[in-house]
């Protein structure tokens, strides 16, 4: 365990007194500004160190107009998506001395407003909005704030910085993997067509088949919901027809789980007869399927980290490319 010092009641005033200088000189010594002899600077530093001086960031903020604090707004209470994003944000920002205010707002506009107001009152340098669905905005309008805003995994205005996984590229890798496994009759079992990710992944699916010279047909794309049950149903439908697929790309890991279970129940070998690829790399699902699921990882932690970096640049007034940032996904090959 790392010990943590007794929190600092020691002020700059105390340090200055102990070192026998004015607080102005002490301040400059510790910030490497101003002019003074190397001796004086070193002495003050040493005294500060010995006394365990830790500057009060609040006081600093008052003059610097920077609070080294950002707000994180999320509408996701249970899901698996935002936690890694949040972890990435927090990890990426702490290196710069920036702390993150966590605010969960459900889908409640009043609650969201309260949280945003609280953040602004606390002088956050910027805000990151994050959610569980890339085509739905949070229940609050952040576009007219006086602080910069970055969107991650949630819909933002067109002129904002918005970070998303590259669903097309991820889906493309999944399908290419199936093709590399010499699969000829590949289908896509996915979620509701209203989700943008469904459209993106389906488009990439068709494109990849086309590029490989395989037949492309809308009938190969089965839309349902995001559940295991739908995976079961889809398999039942496919196996009641005349031609069965030998490769299945699923819209998420839960559907894939349902598909794999259904295939096993029918005595269809995975991956011997049919290869299955999922999407999300939700380890708790992907590692428990039999066989373990090959799936696409969205690198959400890295996405969070980059969201933090982007916000920091905006706060510093540096140029940041507006619009959609699509971050690469990674195929995780397991046994399916």
Tokens encoding 24: 């102005």
Q: Position of tokens 């101003």?
A: 34
Q: Are 27 and 55 in contact (CB under 8 A)?
A: no
Q: Are 118 and 89 in contact (CB under 8 A)?
A: no
Under rule CB under 7 A, which residues in 60-89 are in contact with DNA?
60, 62-64
Task: Tell me the per-residue interface mask from 275 to 314 with a second copy, x by CB under 8 A, - otherwise.
Answer: --------xx---x------------x-------------
Under rule CB under 8 A, which residues in 138-157 are in contact with a second copy?
139-142, 144-147
18 binds DNA (CB under 7 A): no
From the list DNA, a second copy, none, pick the one residue 169 interacts with, judged by a Cβ distance below 5 to 8 Å according to partner type.
none
Could you give the CA distance from residue 257 to residue 334 in angstroms, rounded to a whole number? 13
Under rule CB under 8 A, which residues in 83-112 are in contact with a second copy?
83-84, 86-87, 90-91, 94, 97, 99-104, 109-112
Tokens encoding 19: 């070192």
Cβ distance to DNA smaller for residue 32 or 321: 32
Could you give the CA distance from residue 191 to residue 222 in angstroms, rounded to a whole number? 8
- Cα 187–131–254 angle (5° rounding)? 30
Taking contact as CB under 7 A, which single stretch among the options 13-21, 204-212, 232-240, 281-289 is the one that binds DNA? 13-21
Could you give the CA distance from residue 336 to residue 258 in angstroms, rounded to a whole number? 13
Beta bridge partners of 59: none
Under rule CB under 8 A, which residues in 216-235 are in contact with a second copy?
227-229
| Rounded least distance, CB 35 to a second copy, Å | 27
- Residues binding DNA (CB under 7 A): 8, 11-13, 20-25, 27-28, 30-31, 33-37, 39-40, 53-56, 59-60, 62-64
């Amino acid at each position: 365990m790392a010990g943590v010092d007794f929190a600092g009641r020691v002020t700059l005033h105390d340090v200055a007194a102990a070192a026998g200088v004015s607080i102005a000189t002490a301040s400059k010594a510790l910030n490497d500004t101003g002019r003074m002899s190397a001796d004086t600077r070193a002495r003050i530093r040493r005294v500060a160190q010995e006394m365990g001086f830790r500057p009060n960031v609040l006081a600093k903020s008052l003059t610097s107009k920077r609070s080294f604090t950002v707000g994180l707004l999320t509408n996701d209470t249970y899901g698996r998506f935002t936690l890694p994003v949040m972890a990435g944000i927090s990890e990426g920002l702490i290196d710069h001395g920036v702390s993150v205010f966590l605010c969960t707002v459900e889908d409640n506009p009043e609650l969201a407003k309260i949280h945003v107001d609280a953040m602004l009152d606390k002088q956050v340098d910027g805000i990151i909005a994050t959610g569980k669905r890339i085509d739905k905005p949070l229940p609050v309008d952040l576009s007219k704030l006086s602080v910069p805003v970055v969107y991650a995994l949630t819909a933002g205005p067109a002129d904002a910085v918005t970070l998303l996984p590259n669903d097309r590229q991820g889906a493309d890798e999944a399908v290419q993997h199936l093709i590399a496994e010499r699969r000829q009759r590949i289908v896509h079992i996915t979620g509701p067509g209203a989700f943008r990710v469904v459209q993106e992944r389906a488009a990439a699916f068709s494109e990849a088949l086309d590029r490989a010279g395989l037949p492309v047909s809308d009938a190969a794309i089965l839309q349902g919901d995001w559940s295991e049950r739908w995976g079961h149903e889809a398999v039942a439908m496919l196996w009641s027809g005349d031609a069965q697929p030998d490769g299945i790309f699923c819209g998420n890991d839960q559907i894939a789980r349902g598909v794999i279970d259904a295939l096993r129940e029918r005595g269809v070998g995975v991956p011997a007869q049919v290869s299955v690829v999922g999407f999300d790399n939700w380890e708790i699902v992907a590692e428990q399927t039999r066989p373990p699921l090959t799936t696409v990882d969205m690198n959400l932690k890295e996405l969070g980290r980059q969201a933090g970096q982007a916000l920091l640049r905006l706060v510093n007034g540096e140029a940041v490319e507006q619009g959609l940032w699509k971050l690469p996904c990674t195929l995780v090959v397991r046994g399916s």
